[in-house]
Amino acid sequence: MLASGWVDVAWLVFAAANLIAMGLAPEWETVPFHFIWVSLTLVYGFRLWGVFRTAATLTAVVVGTGAVLTGLILWDAESVDELVEVPLMGAMFLAMVWHAQRRRSAMEGLRRVSDANLRLLHRERQFIQDASHELRTPITVALGHAELVERASREPELAEDARIVVDELQRLRRLADRLLLLATTEDPDFLSRSSVDIPELLAAALQRWAPIDRRWRLEPTEPATVVGDADRLGLALDALVENAVKHTGPGDEIRLGARAQGDLVAVVVADSGAGIPADRLDGIFERFARLDEARSRDLGGVGLGLAIVKAITQAHGGTVTVQSTPGGGSIFQLLLPLRPTTDPASDNRGVTGQILQVDWLHG
């Protein structure tokens, strides 16, 4: 406010000086006359006065410049035609004021809409967090009872019904957990950053998924370190592997690896499955996106896995990409900022299960 007040004071001094110049130098009166009106337009554009302030200022300028010109006309220093410029400049200024006020009204409307959308998003995120927290306890209790019924039942049909209930409750729990994760991606404490060894991350993921009946391949990778959250990156990698498992069969191959790309490291999950149609690639990272509705539901998918991958990767300052050919499999890449490691040792760790270490990413 203080700086804006000085702008007004400076303009008043400038306008008064030009009014004086108009009277003292009649042969040059056009220059200070236009200086006054141009400076009025500039200062209004900076300040955007209210209606009363604008009317009062415009009246003062019209009266001031008109009075000086009238005096010069009476002294035969100027012709009467010069006086026409005063209402003309006033009309041009009013046109500018009208456009400026329309623009300000439009901007205020956009700001109100933006603020309302932000409040709505905040309430939506808070609702998802609260709902996810509240759902956890009843889901856990119901799941425990269903598992107990499944184990204790001596009737095959009842045991099968209980198993279906257990599967659906587990699916619902995964949905609640993933919704909660997505709702907290913008929280300042979403990531707990530390040095993350990429070969260790890949080896741990393959250790978890190796019992699944697929042909697993792990690429020998050189040491690579990123600054990030190992647990979150593990979740993202698991989501990519889970997606690959869902869209492959026992005879298909799933490959994991990493390679340096300049100052980035590309963490790669590739499969030889059915691939993704070209018209579905753009939306696969959106929430609740599914490639095959029936199959995803049969395998317990809720359409949030790839959305979680995108959210976690972006939280680390990276990007996720996909290349796919129908019938030719898919290649997903997490591109993460790379921090060079000082450990020169090879990090080709062995894992259990049917795993082959091959050089499949280079070349």
Going by the DSSP 8-state scheme, the letter that residue 273 receives in this structure is S
Share of the chain above pLDDT 70, in %: 88
Q: How far apart are CA 312 and CA 317, in angstroms?
A: 9
Average pLDDT over every residue of 65-90: 85
Burial of 32: CB neighbours in 10 Å, binned 0-12, 13-18, 19+: buried
User: Residue 197 — φ and ψ, nearest 5°?
Assistant: -85, 115
Residue range 53-73, pLDDT digits in tens:
889 999 999 999 989 888 888
Does the pTM surpass 0.75? The reply is no
Which tops the pLDDT comparison, 2 or 95? Answer: 95
Residue 33 tokens read as: 């006359």
Could you tell me which of 238, 136, 126 has the C-alpha nearest to residue 183? Answer: 126
Strand partners, 269: 256, 332
Residue 133 pLDDT grade (very low, low, confident, very high; cuts 50, 70, 90): confident
SS3 73: helix
Give pLDDT tens digits for 144-183.
888 898 888 888 888 888 889 988 888 888 888 878 788 7
Q: Is the model's pLDDT at 350 over the cut of 80? A: no
CA 24 vs. chain centroid, Å, equals 61
Coil, strand, or helix at residue 194?
Answer: strand
Neighbours of 322 (CB within 10 A): 18
pLDDT score for 357: 40
pLDDT of residue 334: 94
Please, what are the domains in the chain?
A: 194-356 (3.30.565.10)
Residue 263 makes CB contacts below 8 A (sequence gap 6+) with 337, 338
Confidence band, pLDDT 50/70/90 cuts, at residue 294: very low
Residue 234 CA to residue 225 CA, distance in Å, equals: 14
Instruction: Determine contact, residues 209/217, Cβ cutoff 8 Å.
Output: no
Identity of the amino acid at 40? L
For 234-293, the pLDDT digits (tens) are: 999 999 999 999 889 998 999 999 998 889 999 999 999 888 888 788 778 886 655 554
Q: Can you spell out the DSSP letters for 84-105?
A: GHHHHHHHHHHHHHHHHHHHHH
Q: Under DSSP, is residue 271 helix (H, G, I), strand (E, B) or coil?
A: strand
Tell me which range, 41-50, 67-76, 230-239, 337-346, is most confidently predicted by mean pLDDT. 230-239
